[in-house]
Amino acid sequence: MENLLPFDDPGYIADPHAHWQKLRDEAPVYWCEKHRFWAVTRYDDVRTVLQDPARFSSKGGPIGRWKEAGLPRQTLIQDDPPHHDRLRRILSKAFTPSITAEREERVREIARGLLDAARAKLDAGEELDLVGAFTSPFPVNVIAEILGIPAELHDRLKLWNATTSVTGAAELKQAHAPQVMREMYSVLAELIDERRAHRRDDLFSALIDASESDESPLEAEELVGLCQLLWTAGNETTTNLLSNAAVVLRDRPDLVQTIRNQPEQIPDLVEELLRLESPINCLARIASHDLELGGEKIAEDDVLMVMFAAANRDPRHFDRPDEFDASRRPNDHVAFSHGIHFCLGSHLARLEARVGLEALAELMPIARLRPEDGARIPTGILRGWLRLPVEPRTR
C-alpha cells in the first residue's frame, strides 16, 4: 500500500486534510511503517480508544525531552487508573472552573496590554509576528500568574516555553534543552517548598492544600510533575488555537463582525474553531494486549496515534465537516480529548480563547495577516504556527 500518512513531510504539515480524508475512507486504522504506529482517524474509532484506558493505555508513550533531561515522565497525561484517578482527583480540587472565572478580569488585562503593544507597532508602520507578539505570550503570562510564578522569574518564561513546547523547541538548540528543563524543574520544586511555608492566592498553594487534605497526598515529585504539566499544557495548545483562529478570521471578515457586534456568539465560535482547526492533531496510546480495532489486528504494546483533528472532520459524524458553522448542534468535537483524559484545563482554554478572539477582532481591521510568509510548526503532532507575519493594513 502507498504511504497514506507522510507524517513529517512539509506538504502534510501544511495541509493534512486530503490525507486524513483518504485514510478515513480507505484505511481508518492504518499502520504507518516509517514511524511504527497505527493512525486512527474515524470519529467512532477515536472515541472507542479514548474511552477505554483498560485496552488503550496512556503509559509508555513518547516522552521526548523529559527523558533526555533525566526528569520523570509527564505526570497524569501518561498515567492510567487507578494512579491517574488519584492525581486527577487532587488536581480537580485545586484547578476548578470557579478559580478560572475569578481571574477573568486579570486575563483580559493581560490580553489588553499585549494588544495595545501590537497596535502601537502597527500604528507606527512596523511589522510584527502575531505569535511572538500575542498568541504565545498571552497564555504563557496567564498560566504563570495562575500558578504563582513570581515577576522576577518572568524573564525566564520565554526560555522555559521554548524548551518545554514543541513550538519553541523547533527553533531551540537541543543541546541547551535538558539544562533549561532541569532548571525549570528545580525552580518549580523551590516555589512549591516556599508555598508550603507561606500560602498565597495561587494554584501552587491550592494544589498543596488539595493534596494535604486528600486521603492519599501527593509525593513531592508528583506535585512538581503536575505543576510542569499545568505549565506546558497551559500555553501551547491555546497558542495554536489562537494562531489558527487568526488565519480563519483573515479569510472570514464576517466572523470578525460577529465577534465585535454579537459577543454572545463567541462561545459557539470557539467550539467550532476547536473542531475545525484543532490545535492538537494527535496523541499516542499503547495497546495493553492483542486486540482488534477497525478490522485490524493490533499487537500488544503497539502504539496507536489517536488523530483528534481527523476525527473532528469525519463526515460520518459531522455534517459538512469542512465548513465553519458556529450553529452546529451538537458540536461534540474531541479537540479536548474524551474520557478520563478529557482536558482538565478546558475551562481556562475556553476563557483564553474567548478573550483572545475579542483581541484579534480588534486587531484585524488595522492589520494584514500574511500566513503565506509564515512558518508552520514542523511536526505532525500539533497544528499551529511558529511565525505569522502581520503588517499595517494601510500598506
Average pLDDT over residues 71-86: 80
User: Per-residue pLDDT for 240 more than 90?
Assistant: yes
User: Per-residue pLDDT for 167 more than 60?
Assistant: no
Instruction: Band the pLDDT of 225: cuts 50, 70, 90.
Output: confident
Inter-residue contact 162 to 131 (CB < 8 Å): no
**Which of the pair, 74 or 352, is modelled with greater confidence?**
352
The whole-angstrom separation of Cα 247 and Cα 261 is 20
- Give the pLDDT confidence score for residue 220 in this predicted structure: 87
User: Per-residue pLDDT for 170 more than 50?
Assistant: no
User: Per-residue pLDDT for 235 more than 90?
Assistant: no
User: Per-residue pLDDT for 325 more than 50?
Assistant: yes
The whole-angstrom separation of Cα 184 and Cα 66 is 11
User: Per-residue pLDDT for 69 more than 80?
Assistant: no
Q: Which amino acid is at 1?
A: M
Instruction: Band the pLDDT of 391: cuts 50, 70, 90.
Output: very high
User: Per-residue pLDDT for 30 more than 90?
Assistant: yes
Q: Rg (Cα) of the chain, in Å, rounded? A: 21
The whole-angstrom separation of Cα 256 and Cα 265 is 11
User: Per-residue pLDDT for 97 more than 70?
Assistant: yes
Average pLDDT over residues 70-79: 69
Distance, C-alpha 332 to centroid of its chain: 18
The whole-angstrom separation of Cα 236 and Cα 224 is 19
- Give the pLDDT confidence score for residue 300 in this predicted structure: 97
User: Per-residue pLDDT for 327 more than 90?
Assistant: yes
Q: What residues does 392 pair with on adjacent strands? A: 367
- Provide the pairing of β-strand 128-129 with 296-298: unpaired
**Which of the pair, 72 or 312, is modelled with greater confidence?**
312
Stated pTM of the model: 0.92
Lowest mean pLDDT among 151-155, 181-185, 359-363: 151-155
- Give the pLDDT confidence score for residue 70 in this predicted structure: 53
Average pLDDT over residues 218-228: 88
Average pLDDT over residues 146-175: 65
264-323: pLDDT as tens digits: 999 999 999 999 999 999 999 999 999 999 999 999 999 999 999 999 999 999 999 999
Q: How far is CA 383 from CA 242, 294, 365, in A?
A: 11, 26, 25
The per-residue pLDDT of the chain, averaged, comes to 90
Instruction: Band the pLDDT of 65: cuts 50, 70, 90.
Output: very low
- Give the pLDDT confidence score for residue 52 in this predicted structure: 97
Three cell numbers written together for 326: 458556529
The whole-angstrom separation of Cα 331 and Cα 322 is 13
Question: 64-292+346-392: what CATH class?
Answer: mainly alpha
- Give the pLDDT confidence score for residue 64 in this predicted structure: 45
Average pLDDT over residues 10-15: 94
The whole-angstrom separation of Cα 63 and Cα 67 is 6
- Give the pLDDT confidence score for residue 76 in this predicted structure: 84
Instruction: Band the pLDDT of 234: cuts 50, 70, 90.
Output: confident
- Exposed (0-12), middle (13-18) or buried (19+): which is 296, by Cβ within 10 Å? middle
The whole-angstrom separation of Cα 40 and Cα 33 is 14
Average pLDDT over residues 347-360: 97
Q: What residues does 31 pair with on adjacent strands? A: 38
**Which of the pair, 181 or 389, is modelled with greater confidence?**
389
- Provide the pairing of β-strand 56-57 with 283-287: antiparallel
The whole-angstrom separation of Cα 32 and Cα 19 is 13
Domain regions of the chain by residue span: 64-292+346-392
- Give the pLDDT confidence score for residue 213 in this predicted structure: 94
- Give the pLDDT confidence score for residue 177 in this predicted structure: 66
Three cell numbers written together for 321: 465537516
